[in-house]
Amino acid sequence: MAKVENRHRLTWLGYLRNFVRRRPVWITATMVVHLLVFLTSFFLAVFFRFDLTFSADAFEVFYPAVFVVLAVKMIVFYVQRHFRSRWFYATVKDLQMVIYSAAVSLLVLTFADAYHKFLNLPQLPRSILVIDFGTTIMLLGGVRLSLRFLRENVATRGVDHLSRAFFVGANSHGGKIVEIINTRKDSGFYVVGFLTRHQYKAGMQISYIPILGMIDDLPRLASKHRVHDILIVAGTLAGPEFRHLHEICQKHSLELRVIPAGDIVPSRKIPIREIDINDLLRREPVKLDTDMISGRIRGRRVLVTGAGGSIGSEICRQLLTFEPSELILLGRGENRIFFLQRELEALKKTIHQGNSSINTKIYTVIANVVDVQRIKEVFEQFHPEVVYHAAAHKHVPLMEQNICEAVYNNVYGTGVVAMAADKYGTERFVLISTDKAVNPTSVMGTTKCLAERFVNTFSQKSKTKFIVTRFGNVLGSAGSVVPVFRQQIQQGGPITITDRRMTRFFMTIPEAAQLVLEASAFGRGGEIFVLDMGEPVKIIDLAHDMVRLAGLPEESIEIVEIGMRPGEKLYEELYSDSEKRLPTKFPKLFAAEARCFDVEEVQSQIADLVDLSRIGDEKRLRAQLAKLVPEYGAHLDQ
């Protein structure tokens, strides 16, 4: 019998040992400190109850009850996750949680005391439980706040090596961020004051840091307080206000740095970065409602063609957050697909952190969308339920010189993937299109127009929901104007623009990907979705913005006008006159219903184009494009 009891005891000791081993050292240390605090608190409660003596009567009350009190408190505080909190970063909310958990413990112990006979527990004077409640709060709260006080006093010593900074945004969120910055020596900065957009009262403080003035007071205040760096959270200011702040900083040789928006983890270094072109987007960034996307993506098999491109890769990154069961990356460039897969595998661990019931499997496919047999094999193997077709040739001047390849890839390739989606029962097919498809004047725009036409027409007879998304120039995408301008600036100029009057609609890569995912979520089939991108931006204004972003005076980089290239337009459009606009429930997202064409006729027209592209008859091919898309033909006649 003794052996059985000993084995049972060892089993519990082993369980406790394993419990401790599975947790980081700091969590185990926190549990031990809690246990000591609870023991001290209960001892003091009994000590105070018996008139500051610890007589035999007090010991008779203390000894049998202490184990019950400790067990109840440890369980309650464990359930409330107190052992995982970092005391060096204690806040008022932490103190509130201590009070809440102490109150729950008091209720449980009061209940146990009321039914002590039934539960076979020792009875306690109620006054001891009340005193224990108060001493627990004081001791535990005192320990936590003392550690934070210690950290802040030690951290704020010797800040002479840190860069003195102002923080733009005098609010509670800004106060929390400044607290973290000022109490971490590895932040590289020490905030000496806040700046605000609004009127303020002299003497006001946030987290004991003074509000010194408004943004327009920056030059005077920077000189007075010997400040060189200005910190701001991304998205705090609208585009015009941000540009105004940036101009002030440039004029007075101040460094403007941006803290990415999102939750700031106190125990990690805040990622402060220099500004990029997205910060000067000449409108508020559009954030679409993504709630319903999860229902379309979670647990589904999703294929992205052109996955290695700027838009395709961002679509993959955002898709991963919605937990598809399989994500198939299809592209022609093996290097891009290889590096994207590695990035996504790492991102998957960061996003899910073992909390997801779905472990997304990422597959790579090297294939050309015009290869019918290869695309058939891909669909037979994976049976994708959702397809995002981003594979396309997009460079206007290059496609003017390679018309056969443009037609073959953009039109025929779209048809190959779309027909495979129909044949293998894909639920949704989303085509990534462009505003250059509206009243096109280029080969690239015309091929995208025909790709849209095929997809919308094919949706008339297919159970697959075929959807088109259309947007303008994407800031920072490969081969777009932004990286070209950046390279020209790095080389000392000149910046080359085609025409000072030229305007374009601009959006960010995340906005483009959000539009695609949003459209796929609630599209019924046959629609063309367009994001409200605000007013078109002059290319020359964008060039000036980028020169300022580089920290240079505008006049230091020459801007040269070289004339419009073949196929280019001065102004882009988002809708054609023949398209019927449809309302959506999202104010920044619009839809258009394209003109209907006969399915067999469109398929026959595309077959003729493919035949001409295969034999390389560029003259007849261009004439056929002009015939099928009159807007393009009218441009050629000019």
The catalytic position among 436, 448, 465, 569 is 436
Q: Helix, strand, or coil here: 363?
A: strand
- Mean pLDDT along residues 461-477: 83
Mean pLDDT (the chain, rounded): 78
pLDDT at 6 over 50: no
Instruction: pLDDT band for 4, please (50, 70, 90 cuts).
Output: very low
Query: How large is the average pLDDT for residues 155-163?
Result: 58
* Domain assignment present for 221: yes
The domain boundary residue, chosen from 125, 154, 183: 154
Which one is predicted more confidently, 169 or 126? 169
Residues 253-285 have pLDDT tens digits of 888 887 766 555 444 455 555 556 666 666 666
**Which residues lie below 8 Å from residue 637, measured CB to CB, with a gap of 6+?**
none
CB 266, CB 567: distance < 8 Å:
no
Q: What confidence score (pLDDT) does residue 435 get?
A: 85
**Residue 283 in domain:** no
Which has more confidence, 345 or 146?
Answer: 345
Same domain, 143 and 244: no
Q: Is the pLDDT of residue 516 over 90?
A: no
- For the domain that residue 226 is a member of, what is the CATH number? 3.40.50.720
**pLDDT band at residue 425 using 50, 70 and 90 as cut-offs:** very high
Question: pLDDT-based confidence at 337, cuts 50/70/90?
Answer: very high
**pLDDT recorded at residue 145:** 65
Higher per-residue confidence, 217 vs 96: 217
Indicate whether 121 and 205 sit together in one domain: no
Instruction: Return the pLDDT at 439.
Output: 86
Tell me the C-alpha to C-alpha distance, in Å, between residue 194 and each of 230, 235, 243, 248. Answer: 10, 17, 19, 16
- Between 555 and 465, the higher pLDDT residue: 465
The 3-class secondary structure across 198-211, one letter per residue, is CCCCCCCEECCEEE
Both 100 and 181 in one domain: the answer is: no
Domain boundary pick from 154, 177, 209:
154
* SS3 state of residue 328: strand
- Res 2: pLDDT: 43
Q: Is residue 497 part of a domain?
A: no
Residues 264 and 374 in one domain: no
Which one has a higher pLDDT value, 81 or 309?
309
Q: CA torsion, points 176, 178, 184, 190, in degrees to nearest 10?
A: -170
SS3 615: helix
What was the pLDDT predicted at 415? 93
| Counted domains in the chain | 3
Looking at the fold, whether 105 and 180 belong to one and the same domain comes out as no
Across 548-561, average pLDDT: 75
Could you read off the pLDDT of 180-223 as tens digits, one per residue? 777 766 667 888 888 887 776 556 777 668 888 888 889 999 98
Same domain? 104 vs 185: no
> In which band, very low, low, confident or very high, does the pLDDT at 353 lie, cut at 50, 70 and 90?
low
Residue 214 main-chain phi, psi, to 5 deg: -95, 170
627 in active site: no
In this predicted structure, the answer to whether residue 9 has a pLDDT above a threshold of 50 is no
Average pLDDT over residues 236-258: 80
Q: Over 70: is that where the pLDDT of 329 sits?
A: yes
- The pLDDT assigned to 69 comes to 79
* Greatest mean pLDDT among 144-158, 159-173, 358-372, 562-576: 358-372
Name the more confident of 478 and 610: 610
- Does the pLDDT of residue 177 top 90, yes or no? no
User: Do 338 and 461 belong to one domain?
Assistant: yes
Is residue 421 predicted with pLDDT exceeding 90? yes
Q: Tell me, yes or no, whether 9 lies in a domain.
A: yes
553 within some domain: no
Task: Say if residue 148 is in the same domain as residue 226.
Answer: no
User: Are 116 and 249 members of one domain?
Assistant: no
Q: What is the pLDDT of residue 416?
A: 95
In terms of Cα–Cα distance, which of 459, 480, 479 is closest to 468?
Answer: 459
Quick check: 579 pLDDT over 80? no
Domain check: are 438 and 454 in the same one?
Answer: yes
End residue of a domain, out of 100, 134, 154 = 154
Q: Give the pLDDT confidence score for residue 1 in this predicted structure.
A: 41
Please name the residues in contact with 376: beta carbons below 8 A apart, sequence gap of 6 or more. 420
DSSP H/E element including 142: helix 126-155
Residue 60 domain-assigned? yes
Q: Quick: pLDDT tens for 104-153.
A: 877 877 777 776 666 666 667 777 777 878 787 787 766 766 665 555 55
Band of residue 634 on the pLDDT scale cut at 50, 70, 90: confident
Whether 31 shows a pLDDT value over 80: the answer reads: no
Return the pLDDT at 361: 92
619 Cβ contact partners less than 8 Å away, ≥ 6 residues apart: none
d(CA 37, CA 317): 46
Better-scored residue on pLDDT, 152 or 74: 74
CB neighbour list of residue 625: distance below 8 Å, 6 or more residues apart = 403, 407, 443, 446, 447, 450, 609, 632, 633
Provide, rounded to the nearest whole percent, the portion of the chain with pLDDT above 90.
Answer: 18
* Confidence at residue 303, expressed as pLDDT on a 0 to 100 scale: 96
164 and 150, same structural domain? no
Confirm whether 281 is domain-assigned: no
For 362-393, the pLDDT digits (tens) are 999 999 999 999 999 999 999 999 999 999 99
Say what the pLDDT of residue 538 is: 86
pTM: 0.60
In a domain, 562, yes or no: no
- Could you tell me if 164 and 93 lie in one domain? no
Range of the domain at 50: 2-154
pLDDT at 327 (0 to 100): 95
Which of 20-34, 288-302, 443-457, 513-527 has the highest mean predicted lDDT (pLDDT)? 443-457
- The strand pairing partners of 303, in sequence order, are 328, 387
Q: Which range has the worst mean pLDDT, 8-17, 27-36, 206-215, 611-620?
A: 8-17
